[in-house]
Amino acid sequence: MKEGITPIVTLYHWDLPQALQEEGGWLNNSTSDRFAELCAVKFWITLNEPYVVSYHGHEIGAMAPGIKGNGDKIYIAAHTLIKSHANAFLMNISVWIIVAKNPFSPADVKAADTATQFQYGWFAHPVFINGDYPEVMKWKIGNKSKEQDLTESRLPVFTENEKLNIRGKSGSTWLKVTPTAIRKMIKWTKDYLGPNVPIYITENGVSDRNGTLQDTIRLGGCDVRGYMAWSLMDNFEWARGYSERFGLHYVDFNDPKRPRTPKKSVDFYSKLISNNGFVHNKSNGVLSQGLDKHHIVFLVLVILVNSVIMFSF
């Protein structure tokens, strides 16, 4: 704090207290009420990547808490997560940009949008639109449930009071460098959720396996308030351990002293922060490091509460 930095606290980053997990965790509806008790801090993010918690944690069992489902627990967990978030406001939504295989094919464009609704809209639609799931989710899951001879949809139903409470409350081989991805997803957010939704990008980066020091950062009306690189230094990356490195600083894990070596991107990023953004050169149309009120990208370590969407790219 003495350096003028205010940390962001993520209340749940796949680390639910064991006592709550033993009572059912996110499959227990009462967890949403218990979760609200944690939210007595000034600046916070409620939930880290609820899609990952739901799908990877309660369907395929690859992430915490490692539960495998059959197309049922995934929706129950997500339902409780959304209601938990509604009691505390600020969620970090993980987002993958999904594009049509053939952008000139209406069927492909529709399929890409449906996939986006099932991944991003699943959590954003209840919070920012009407307190309920996207219609395409309700329709598809409801019909599939009927085909499975189930008496009700596998997708839980919000009560009218819950809808009112939720609406308006508010992150290698498997990652690809896609310069246009952030711009596309932010535009999708503006077009679908509205132009007045403040956005903080809390995770953006790509990993390598060898600690490459010659990495690069390229530049790619939306209300983007903050950006945070993923991450300051190489770390223990969940199930992948130390095999993938996301840090702006390379860490030698074979040395007991864990020496840090800045990657090439550190020089770029430090200048970006010092200059408080980019400047648009009107003569050549190029964005360069500097300050310009129309092209500011902040390193923000302060989060404002209420109706803010957090991205993890």
By three-state DSSP, how is residue 116 classified? helix
Of 216 and 241, the structure prediction assigns the larger pLDDT to 241
Note whether 25 and 54 are within 8 A (CB).
no
Note whether 77 and 54 are within 8 A (CB).
yes
Q: What is the mean pLDDT of residues 55-71?
A: 94
Taking only the tens place, the pLDDT of each residue in 7-42 is: 777 888 888 889 999 999 999 999 988 888 776 666
**What pLDDT is attached to residue 105?**
95
**What pLDDT is attached to residue 291?**
36
**Domain spans of the chain, in order of start:** 8-169, 172-313
Note whether 48 and 12 are within 8 A (CB).
yes
Taking only the tens place, the pLDDT of each residue in 240-299 is: 788 888 888 999 988 999 999 998 888 888 887 787 766 555 555 545 544 333 333 322
Q: How confident is the model at residue 51 (pLDDT cuts 50, 70, 90)?
A: very high
By three-state DSSP, how is residue 218 classified? coil
How big is the CA angle at 165 (ends 56 and 118), to the nearest 5 degrees?
A: 30
The percentage of residues in the chain with a pLDDT greater than 90, rounded to a whole number, is 35
Taking Cα atoms as reference points, which of 266, 270, 271 lies closest to residue 249? 266
Q: What is the mean pLDDT of residues 147-156?
A: 95
Q: How confident is the model at residue 230 (pLDDT cuts 50, 70, 90)?
A: confident
Least confident of 6-10, 99-103, 171-175, 262-266: 171-175
Pick the CATH number of 8-169 from 3.40.50.1370, 3.30.110.30, 3.60.20.30, 3.20.20.80: 3.20.20.80
Q: How confident is the model at residue 218 (pLDDT cuts 50, 70, 90)?
A: very low
- Active site members: 203
Q: How many CB atoms lie within 10 A of CB 267?
A: 12
How big is the CA angle at 206 (ends 204 and 210), to the nearest 5 degrees?
A: 145
**What pLDDT is attached to residue 151?**
95
Q: What is the mean pLDDT of residues 126-150?
A: 94
Q: Is the pLDDT of residue 65 over 70?
A: yes
Q: How confident is the model at residue 213 (pLDDT cuts 50, 70, 90)?
A: low
**What pLDDT is attached to residue 214?**
57
Q: How confident is the model at residue 62 (pLDDT cuts 50, 70, 90)?
A: very high
Q: Is the pLDDT of residue 196 over 60?
A: yes
Q: How confident is the model at residue 75 (pLDDT cuts 50, 70, 90)?
A: very high
